[in-house]
Amino acid sequence: MAIWGFYFVVKIILNYKGVLRLDIPWNIAFACFLLLPLPKWLDKHTSVRWTRGLLNVVLAVLLLWHDSWLPPLMDAIALVKQQGLPQREYILNFLSRYYDDKMITSAAGLFLACYIVNRFVYLVPVTIVAMLVIIPFNIMARPDDKEMNASLDGFYEGEATRVVDFKKSENVKLNFDVVFLHVCSLSWADLKDVGLENHPFFKQFQYLYTDFDSVTTYSGPAMIRVLKSNCGQVPHAAIYNDMPKECYTMNSLEKIGFKQWVALNHDGVYGEFAKEMVKYGHLKTPPMNLTAIPANQRMFDDSLVHDDYGVLEQWWKARRESDQPAALYYNTASLHDGSHWATDRVWFKRDRKELFREFATKMLDDFGKFFTLLEKSDRNVVVVFVPEHGLALRGSTTQAPGLRDIPLPAITNIPVGIKLIGAGFNGRPLHQTVIDKPTSYLAIAHQLASFIDKNPFNADGMIPKRMLDELPATDHVAENLSARVLRSGQKYFLLAKDNRWVELQKSETE
């Protein structure tokens, strides 16, 4: 029984550190089950003892998963079935993040101690008593579920009434393009972790958002939310429902005269990204052909990742053949976890932060080159730079590096910028307006609607202060399929898979 004593001792320690949350009734029930002896007439059969041992292991693993911060097991299995497994090298790279010499040594020492103690005192009954002592502390740490649920319901009720309508006066001529640069895996926390938070790229925007909530931590949902940014935030499950036609940003732009363009620097196959753009984002234009674009990177599933500047330059050449105002949705996977140089066969052995810094620097430089290309033309362009979510370079007590099931602030707080290129802006000193109030996608739609209403590229097109004052704030509510994070004041609260609220430790929110 020493190994089971070790099992419960480790879980009690991890519960204290916040790495998992003990479901004490279930753990006590399992401990009691372990203490139940087999009847003598069954115990003499080796096959029965082995079956009992195997059952114990299966139950222990399932209970450990249940106590962890991981999503429900069936949700995780469904995700793997839907998207498939990545290549072997990515799995090895992911598992290597858990290896820690100090942790392994400590675990070995603790097991030895449990083995010695268990020779004199059975540890499993002792751990049952210890878990009973923990119960009142676990209860005291929980916020009021009814109050938190009421706050969440109130948030959604308010968001359901918000919509931004793109309206153009008949006598107004659209003389600018709109370019969405939708970037996978880039948060403020990621930038700080690799020392790129002050990269010159971010000083090029007239408007820089510093408290923008990406809401989700996965590419598909992020793409859907951007393409439906004209309406207020809806719960995760509702993003897959049809919404009023005015909610669809790209189609709203098309309706008032913009030609719709779509470009990706990947094949859009993983997670059925390209199919979901059409099904849930209502995009009508197929992505550009990438055959002629160099691909120096590969994704974690070994698919090609094409050069950002190459794709954008090709689009710009094609776009120049039309006089119609253009609206481009561009999605890049250059920073996706597991992305690597195509010629690097041992990339999975490299430091993850070092690799990310290389790709982030190249991508930001490529976008800078694209801005220069636009500035040399005679077109006016509104560029919207918006990441999908962060990479989770930095782990925490509740979630290991690279895991994004829980939408922690370090993953969902993303850098968003809006840049005006063209008449009245090129070659002039740039004054950057930092928007530090809590915002989300509706703020982007509001700014675009303001530009359509009062063209910033016209002679009298100064951006009115009223537009910024009326910029819609959005309370911080981030969510995935099985977890939500809500900010109240300076505190963050998590609604996890057991439908109970828990206040996140300060270390989880920075």
* CATH number for 396: 3.40.720.10
Separation CA 488–CA 116 (nearest Å): 48
Question: How many other CB atoms sit within 10 Å of the CB of residue 359?
Answer: 19
Q: Identify whether 44 is part of a domain.
A: yes
Closest CA to 413 of 433, 389, 437, 393: 389
Domain shared by 281 and 179, yes or no: yes
When pLDDT is cut at 50, 70 and 90, the band that residue 233 belongs to is very high
Domain shared by 312 and 460, yes or no: yes
Domain shared by 405 and 274, yes or no: yes
Pairing relationship of beta strands 326-332 and 176-183 according to DSSP bridges: parallel
Domain shared by 468 and 322, yes or no: yes
Domain shared by 137 and 240, yes or no: no
Q: Identify whether 118 is part of a domain.
A: yes
Q: Identify whether 149 is part of a domain.
A: no
- Report pLDDT for 410: 95
Q: Identify whether 152 is part of a domain.
A: no
Q: Identify whether 503 is part of a domain.
A: no
Q: Identify whether 154 is part of a domain.
A: no
- Report pLDDT for 400: 86
When pLDDT is cut at 50, 70 and 90, the band that residue 141 belongs to is low
Closest CA to 290 of 270, 271, 262: 262
Range in 143-157, 191-205, 253-267, 423-437 with the lowest mean pLDDT: 423-437
Q: What is the span of the domain harbouring residue 56?
A: 2-141
Q: 141, 176, 208: which is the final residue of a domain?
A: 141
- Report pLDDT for 354: 93
- State the average pLDDT over residues 334-356: 89
pTM: 0.91
Q: Identify whether 153 is part of a domain.
A: no
What b/e string do you get for 206-240 counting C-beta neighbours within 10 Å, with b at 16 or more?
A: bbbbebbbbbbbbbbbbbbbbbbbbbbbbebeebe
How many domains is the chain built from?
2
Domain shared by 116 and 203, yes or no: no
Domain shared by 216 and 74, yes or no: no
Domain shared by 271 and 398, yes or no: yes
The yes-or-no verdict on residue 140 having pLDDT over 60 is no
User: Look-up: residue for tokens 């990742």?
Assistant: 305
Q: Identify whether 496 is part of a domain.
A: no
Domain shared by 127 and 191, yes or no: no
- Report pLDDT for 457: 86
Torsional class of 258: left (φ above 0), alpha (ψ -120 to 50), beta (otherwise): beta
Range in 259-263, 420-424, 496-500 with the lowest mean pLDDT: 496-500
Domain shared by 352 and 393, yes or no: yes
Domain shared by 136 and 173, yes or no: no
- State the average pLDDT over residues 217-245: 96
When pLDDT is cut at 50, 70 and 90, the band that residue 1 belongs to is low
The yes-or-no verdict on residue 129 having pLDDT over 60 is yes
- State the average pLDDT over residues 241-246: 95
Domain shared by 203 and 56, yes or no: no
For residues 196 and 466, which has the higher predicted lDDT (pLDDT)?
Answer: 196
- State the average pLDDT over residues 376-400: 92
Could you tell me the two tokens for 229? 């940014």
Range in 73-82, 86-95, 297-306, 399-408 with the lowest mean pLDDT: 86-95
- Report pLDDT for 90: 67
- Report pLDDT for 286: 95
